[in-house]
Every structure is written in C-alpha cells, then in structure tokens.
A = this chain, B = another copy of it.
Amino acid sequence: MLKPKPREPKADRFVPPPKVPPPAPVVDVGDAEMRLAQDLLFFAYRDFTTVADTILEELGLGRAHHRALHFIGRNPGITVSGLLAILRITKQSLARVLNALVDQGYVAQAPGFEDRRLRLLTLTEAGQALERRLFDSQREKLAQAYRAAGPLGVHGFRTLMRAMMDRGARDYIDGTGSPEDA
C-alpha cells in the first residue's frame, strides 16, 4: 500500500467535476442490467448477513465465527483444510476463530479414522444450538424472499448464483465435489 504521505491542504484537493457527464457514451446493451446485479448482490449480502450480528455481538463473536459455524454445521467431520478452502483464508486467520469456538465449547475435534493426522470438526450440541439460533434470525427474511420469488424464481436464482461461482464451489454445492476443492 501507499505510505500515508501528508496530503495537501484542503482547498488544493478540490478538483472540478469532469466535463463529460458521468453516464458514459459508449456502453454495451446489457451494461445497465449487469450494474444492477452488482447492486443487488451487494445489498442482499449486506442485509442478509447483518441480521445475525446482534446475536453474535452478545456472545463476543464475529462474522468469521458465524461462517465457520455454518460450514462445520453443513459438513460434519470437515477437516481444517476443507474449511480453509471454503473460506479462502489463511491457517492463522482460521486458527484464531476455530480456537475460540473450541474453547467456548461450540466445536469439537476428533482425529480421523484412517488418517489420524486429520482433525474432523463437528459442532457440539451447544454449537448446533447456536448455529440454529443464528440461522433462525435469518430465516424469516429468507423465507419471505422465497415466497416473493416463487418456485420458478428460486430456480432462476439458484441457476444464476451457481453460474457465478468457481467450478469447485459449484461441485461442492452439487454434492459432487469435496470441500477441499471449493
């Protein structure tokens, strides 16, 4: 990143707005639609994730913890590498979150059966309860969105979202791939 070199005095940083009006002249047909999709994705993600924040804050947890809980809940017995691949973060970032969840009794670890190097992660009953509570907070919003879209709409939603993901994640969603490749 750039060093925080001291900026010039306020007045000097005032640049007049561009002469050309912002609506760009040469634009493809589908452009506006795609910009809209960006907006939709941003706002839906923003507002969907925020509803669980109250609960998380109560417990001194963050969204990173929620994500881990969610994916362990969805994949009982998932390995650390599997979780790393899904979350796309580093071992160290996950370690903090995972250690907190283990310490607080939400996540249990057990060595793998065949390969004893593996740590198979599962939710404890407390973990399941918490995940459930977090999910319930998002539930109504989701259910109502499903109703608004109808079965056909939901199908379209799924197709579009699937197509936006990387191949590995798509396979994971479909149940034909392992978390490690998501």
- Residues A1 and B153 in contact in the complex (CB < 8 Å), given A39-B173, A44-B165: no
Hey, which chain B residues are within 8 Å of A144, CB to CB?
163
> A18's contact among B22, B125, B153, B163, by CB below 8 Å, is which?
B125
* Additional A-B contacts beyond A35-B135, A149-B156 (19; CB < 8 A): A1-B60, A7-B103, A17-B108, A17-B110, A21-B76, A24-B132, A33-B154, A34-B135, A37-B142, A38-B138, A42-B70, A44-B162, A46-B169, A47-B164, A141-B164, A144-B163, A149-B159, A149-B163, A156-B157
* A residues at B contact (CB < 8 Å): 1-2, 7, 13-18, 20-24, 30, 33-48, 50, 60, 67, 70, 73-74, 76-77, 88, 99-100, 102-105, 108-111, 120, 122-125, 128, 132, 135, 138-139, 141-146, 148-150, 152-166, 169, 172-173, 182
